[in-house]
Chains A and B, each alone.
Chain A
Amino acid sequence: MQYIFDLHKTLLDHNLILVYEGEFTQEITKSILAMAERNMDSSGEESTVKRKVFNVMVECLQNIVKHAGDVQKKNAAIFIVGKLENEYVIVSGNPIETAESEKLKDKLEQINSLDKDGLKSLYKEIIKNTEISDKGGAGLGFVDMARKSGNPLAYDFIDTGDGAQFFCLKASISRL
């Protein structure tokens, strides 16, 4: 049973207030959002910060719902919210096809190279020309996450050894 204590300690050491691992659906998205909202309400979080955290969480969770099934058909992924002294961190991890990782890397690099006005222009450019995909996305999720968080998006790709990559994404939202 040592792992229970270890896990508990890891969560505390990293200030993680919410960790979910498993299948992702719209229903689960709504439950996770409700839990995080209650947590922020009960701790009296600033409404501006609360809205931004909610916003980034939605985009992150709906990304997983739409894409996590691509590799394993099981929507298996992890979603984490951390609450530090100065910021909230919203983290997701899900397996993707290796071929997808290059495309994602380019997209995220482009987004991180842009300042506030650059992101605004990119958002407007995409929304004018986009069509909703078969998966229901508008191709605006990462841009919106970067805009709302006000910080670059951190990311990593970890080789899972079975021809897929584990895509980790972290958005940070400063607390006022």
Chain B
Amino acid sequence: MEILNLEGTEDTPKIILDKGNGIYEISGRSLPEDSAEFYQPVLDWIEEYAGGPNPSTEFVFKLEYFNTASSKLILDVLSALEDIDGTTIMWYFHEDDEDMEEAGEEFSELVEIPFEFKTY
């Protein structure tokens, strides 16, 4: 399956989705002008991956900041992952960033996927 690899910019996150190496990560800042358009390739990738996933999928979110339009799309990404058995969300937040910790907790309450919380 093709690797999705997007370099991060000042308003979009770095994204690596690599089935072969078992790396699934969204990190950095997410405040694109058009969040739906930006996240569409991610949703497409996950849809294809769901057809033949690895036995376990540790999906990493390591976000420094995201805007509200991105939060809706992050929920869409999580909802797409919900149907993939063996998925765990690794939710990273900066140790003094309570808002990012709380955001992760809220997402974990909205989908049926186990979350692990880690600081960086």
A contact residues vs B (CB 8 Å cutoff): 26, 30, 34, 47-48, 51-52, 54-55, 58-59, 62, 65, 120, 123-124, 127-128, 130, 132, 136-138, 140-141, 143-144, 148
Is the CB–CB distance between A62 and B31 below 8 Å? yes
* Partner among A65, A130, A144 whose Cβ is within 8 Å of the Cβ of B33: A65
- A59/B68 contact (C-beta < 8 A), A30-B11, A51-B99, A124-B109 known: yes
- A127/B72 contact (C-beta < 8 A), A55-B99, A148-B99 known: yes
Cα–Cα distance between A9 and B57 once the two chains are bound (Å): 58
Interface status of B3 (Cβ within 8 A of chain A): no
Is the CB–CB distance between B106 and A120 below 8 Å? yes
- Total contacts A-B at CB 8 Å: 67
Is the CB–CB distance between A59 and B11 below 8 Å? no
Chain B residues whose C-beta falls within 8 Å of the C-beta of A138 in the assembled complex? 35, 68-69, 71-72
Known: A124-B106, A124-B110. 15 other contacts (CB 8 A): A30-B10, A48-B97, A55-B65, A59-B68, A62-B67, A128-B75, A132-B35, A132-B69, A136-B36, A136-B69, A137-B69, A138-B72, A140-B72, A141-B68, A144-B68
Chain A residues whose C-beta falls within 8 Å of the C-beta of B2 in the assembled complex? none
Cα–Cα distance between A130 and B75 once the two chains are bound (Å): 11
- What residue in chain A is nearest B76 (Cβ atoms)? A132
User: Can you report 30 residue pairs joining A to B where beta carbons are below 8 Å apart?
Assistant: A26-B11, A26-B32, A30-B11, A47-B94, A47-B97, A48-B96, A48-B97, A51-B65, A52-B99, A59-B67, A59-B68, A62-B31, A123-B106, A124-B110, A127-B71, A127-B72, A127-B75, A130-B72, A132-B35, A132-B36, A132-B72, A132-B73, A136-B33, A136-B34, A136-B35, A136-B36, A136-B69, A140-B68, A140-B71, A141-B68
> Taking the nearest CB of chain B, how far is it from the CB of A55, in angstroms?
7
Q: Is the interface of A mostly helix, strand, loop or mixed?
A: helix
Report how many residues on chain B are interfacial, defined by Cβ distance under 8 Å: 24
Give me the 3 closest cross-chain CB pairs, A-B, nearest first.
A140-B68, A26-B33, A138-B72
Chain B residues whose C-beta falls within 8 Å of the C-beta of A123 in the assembled complex? 106
> Taking the nearest CB of chain A, how far is it from the CB of B107, in angstroms?
9
- A58/B75 contact (C-beta < 8 A), A136-B36, A136-B69, A140-B68 known: no
Chain B residues whose C-beta falls within 8 Å of the C-beta of A30 in the assembled complex? 10-11
The CB with the most chain B CB atoms within 10 A, among A52, A54, A138, is that of A138
Chain B residues whose C-beta falls within 8 Å of the C-beta of A132 in the assembled complex? 35-36, 69, 72-73
B residues 86-105 in Cβ contact with A at 8 Å: 94, 96-99
Cα–Cα distance between A143 and B68 once the two chains are bound (Å): 9
* Partner among A58, A127, A130 whose Cβ is within 8 Å of the Cβ of B31: A58
